[in-house]
Structure 1
Amino acid sequence: MHSSVAPAGQAFARLRSLWQRWFLWLLLAMLVLVLLATVVWLAGRHEAEQMQVVLDHDTADALSELRGGLQRNAQSLNALLTETANAKRWPEMEATSQLRAHREWLRLEWRDAQLRLLAATDTPYRMRLFEQDARGAMQSDIALACTAASKLSAPAYSPSHYVSNSAGNGLEVLEICLPSEAGGYLVATYSLRDTLTELVGPTLRRGQEVIFSEPDGTRLASVGVARRTGNRVFTSQQLLDLPGVTLMFRVDGWRSEPDLFPNLLTALVTAVSIALVSVLVLLARDTRRRLKAERELADTLAFRKAMEDSVITGLRARDLQGRITYVNPAFCAMVGFTPEELIGTVEAPYWPTELAHEYQQRQDMRIGGSVPPRNGFESVYMRKDGARFPVLIFEAPLINAQGLQTGWMSAFVDLSEQRRIEEISRASQERLQASARLATVGEMASLLSHELTQPLAAIASYATGSLNLLGGQTDGASAELSMAMRRIGEQAERAGQVIRSVHDFVRRRDRTREPVAPQVLLDAVMPLVRLQAQKLGVRIDIVLEPALPQVLCDRTLVEQVLLNLTRNAMQAMDQPTITERVLLLRVASVPGRADPAPEARRWLEFAVADIGSGIDDAVARRLFTPFFTTRTDGMGLGLSLCRTVVEQHGGALLFEPNRPRGTVFRFTLPAIVIAPFELPAPALAADA
């Protein structure tokens, strides 16, 4: 049992192997046979199509020639009509001459306006076809043609009709009617068969049949060679549209069936097919080797692609004309453009507009053979959203397998994060340095406050002692001296308060705040402000709204803020080009922040305005930075300390351009409101 199954299985395996081996060859042989039959069939079809094209072209030329002949005949008839109308008689000799020249005409007739026959001349080449009484005025074909000619004021044709003769034969004819301006008609009778003979070239009739037929296919007249048995018919037909009648002009060509002409072609196709099979065998072997090499190459390319996609360094390749041929995903993510937007471009879209010309020159130098630096070079690129970012570029030539340079490969490192870290480090260093300087200033302020307290106390004591010594004297000099001593004592006490406030401010101790009227704050600083204003020639204008509430503040520190801002304003106007120097001090309630509720918090705004040269943008960005100053003798701490004092009171210190020139510094302080109040119209007080 087992011995009989094994040979059967082996035979089946051999048959399957044999079938698999020869299946493709059988399929190829069948395809070659189909190809050969298709080529022969296409050759015959091509020949038939060529014959049909030639016949269509000949038919169109013959129809054009026929139309031209009919038009020339109409012109000849028009000349005869003119001569007849001018002579008022029928020119028999001229009509006979025309009939001799145009054999397609059978008869020429002259008729009056009622289509009655006045005169007629028959062709000399045929026996008379028409009887006199058979061509009356009521003949329908002539009537139709002449009626159409009258409407068109041009020659018109009648429908074709059959005319028999006495011998029992007949002809298919049609008439052309020409109207006369003087009244009457000239009628010419055409023989359709003679028209084909005379007006169609003999070459078209040779080996073909030329036919006049109705549009429905009814044959009217024909000339040429009749169809032979065993031939293939090629037909071409076109409409002959004449005024009053439409005929079909048809040409039937007789051609023998195309031979299996390519006996040579068949042998050639067979030889080519055998050669094709041989080439396919060789190609199959070569294809196996190529498939193996392609698989290895695909693995290598996939490995390289994975490496290129995983790196964070941008890669870009350019050819020798500067066109981008390759970019990796890291480069696309770096500049924000897709590979489709970059590949093929010469002037890259990631070049900044202001640097595009410079980069183009650098690229031209690189294409010209300039060697890039080995350690790379820095540049600035632009992302798709317009943001600029620094990059470090390394370039190397691209060399192909033949050792020829095909372009340049560039590697890009985005330096944005490195620059950001460097900027953070630099800012941290600056903050540390500023903190160290502030600590030093704090220590100096503490030391100065400690060292100056005793001399100021001594000054106050000496002033008090001097007042005691002058207490009993009443003359004028003694009174003035007593006033000076009191002023010295007051300023010494004020200096002590300032030193104590600065000491508390530096040590960040809780400072005592008290309600103070805005007028009192201004009065406290005005003596010192007036002294500097008189020295610099500045006029001081004070605008103080009436019925203003008191502010809750550290009086000494706020007075120092006012004093610092007024001094800065007057120094800003200390320029030779400024002739009119005006300092404006204004105190008002903040508009839009007043709440009618009694318990609501109110704010007062203090403004110091000058008409100096103003503050430019570069200075404005760093105006409140500690230790930044535009004066050679300044420390750069005044405005920074003023802003800190105002913000510790809960307010804000701002500045803005003055109109028409100058700068306005504004700061707000919290007000104490006991009851609601209404603000009357502002009053202006001037103090110079």
Structure 2
Amino acid sequence: MTDMHSWPTPLPGHGAPANAWRRRGLWGMLVLVVVGLLATLVWLARSYEMEQTQRDLERDNSYAAQALRQRLARNLQDLHGLAATQTEAVGWTAAAGPMLGEHREWLRLQWRDPQLQLLAAADSPYYAPLPAPESDLPPNVDLGQACAQAAKTAGPVYAPSRFVPRPGGLGDEVMELCLPILHGTRLLGYLVAAHTLEGVLAQLPTQLTRGQSVSLTELDGTRLAVQGAPRRGTRVFVAQQVLDLPGAPMVLRLEGARQLPDVFPNVLTALVTGLSIALVTVLVLLARDFRRRQAAEAELAQALSFRKAMEDSLVTGLRARDLQGRITYVNPAFCAMVGYEPHELIGRGAPMPYWPPEHAHEYGERQVQRLAGQAPGRDGFESVFLRKDGTRFPVLIFEAPLIAAVGKQTGWMSAVMDMTALRRAEELSRASQERLQASARLATVGEMASLMSHELNQPLAVISSYATGSLNLLQGGPAAGADAAMLHDVRTALTRIADQAGRAGKVIHSVRDLVRQRSTARQAVAPRELVDTVLPLVQLQARKLDALLQVDVPPTLPAVWCEPTMIEQVLINLARNGLQAMDQGAAARVLRLRARAVPDGEPPSAVEFSVADTGCGIADDVAEQLFTPFFTTKDEGMGLGLSLCRTVVEQHGGKLLHAPQSPRGTVFSFLLPLARG
């Protein structure tokens, strides 16, 4: 027995008692969690019932607001019908009476002119009459402002409500509606309807005012009219909605008292339902979250692959750098451009391996300015890069700040374009342009030769004619008493030969200046002097063709600013063409040279020269190509005369025109500017 008492006894606080305390703590925590969960479920159920009660009240309030809006809209339709059908005061008053009987919310209807002077009025039979309309003139300020606003907007406007006192200390809250009466855009007057707010609320369905109150209040909460009364309860629920009436917005307030929801009968239902819903919800949320996660991962993988494919297919190099200037990203196009692999570039800072050594310092300073934000953003600049094989190539760089999703700048993004192909295309284009210019110069030389040969035909023909005449005079021998006359004729012919030879030289110089696109020596010349210079040549050809020459050039015309030789050549070409046109079977051959001031009044702005013939005219198909170089209807013509004439006139700032002449023939005309000073 003594041996049994020699076994040691366990110390307090060790072994099983410690585990028991731990288990009790865990169970206590579990009980607290369950109690908290139950309390939460009960609170949620009670809150749900209260929210449902509030939702029902708000639904009633929305229905009441909709009913009021519909009622006011029907009122507007009736007022529009009254304004449209009645235009006389007697008929208007007779029609307004029955309408007031149908609308219990109206106290009075008034018809006013555009100056708000009363034309007719009618009072409701259901209410004590308001003060006489005459005492309400001029109308109150609120109504006047509402009518002015209605006239501007061409629509109805409500005036703010006002309290109208009644006998016995009572009164009505009255709100007036001003409706403009329009005929097109012309204002004919106004239709004013005075509403009682209590009457407006009385039009609501009775189920909305049974056991709850409906009121209209100002935006600041001032109560204007009330209909119905709430039941007695432990809590009052309120729902409000704004009635946005034009000119006078109001708040429709619905108040209803409800008993607080019971708690204990709903605990078990709330507990079971809550736990079931919670379990199902957790499972549904887990499944939905898993599907969303899978969809997000698939979309992310697709977006990454699409972005990589897009970046790999770009021909423009992309390069990203951080705020310290180190490269953080390059696309394959940039690597192919400089000849380096991505791992050789990412993480590198200045100097970059693709910088030419002689420009490394300059590029480094530019990068420092860029990183410091001193360089302009999003502007392209040209530079030169060095490939890994040592070849240099021009590039165009566009650089912009790299903004992260949080709106913070994390670096710089660059787009690099290889300009080698563009530079090569520019060189080819420049070479082609030089070749085209050389070809144009050769063509100009040919055109100059053609023009000179064409223009020299006339003075050389005149020289030949005068020379032949002089030889005939000399070979015929002098007749008795005719020595002086013959010598005078020979002297005159030789003088004309010298003048035409000088003219041929002037033609050569003028055509050469024309081909070189160089301005010729212009001077102030009288129109009569220009015509007198070419008149001998024109008369000579007119006599050959047996044509009558008429000259209408007043000597008082102001001088024009032109190059005389070229303008004289234009007149000769036009006169010669007119004579040749009349040589083709014209009955009456009359060539008229005319000059007149344009406009005919004072002071003139230009002088118009015209050459009119009585030939067969110009056909439509010929008129389309009349000024085309080398186009001609003559067997021996070169097709350069009219083209040259148009070029000369356009160089003088004018335009060569042609028009048919009545009864037959053609008129060519052009303008020359006046000489200033």
User: Smaller-chain TM-score range?
Assistant: 0.3 to 0.5
TM-score of the pair, normalised by structure 1: 0.37
Structure 1 or 2, whichever has the larger Rg, is 1
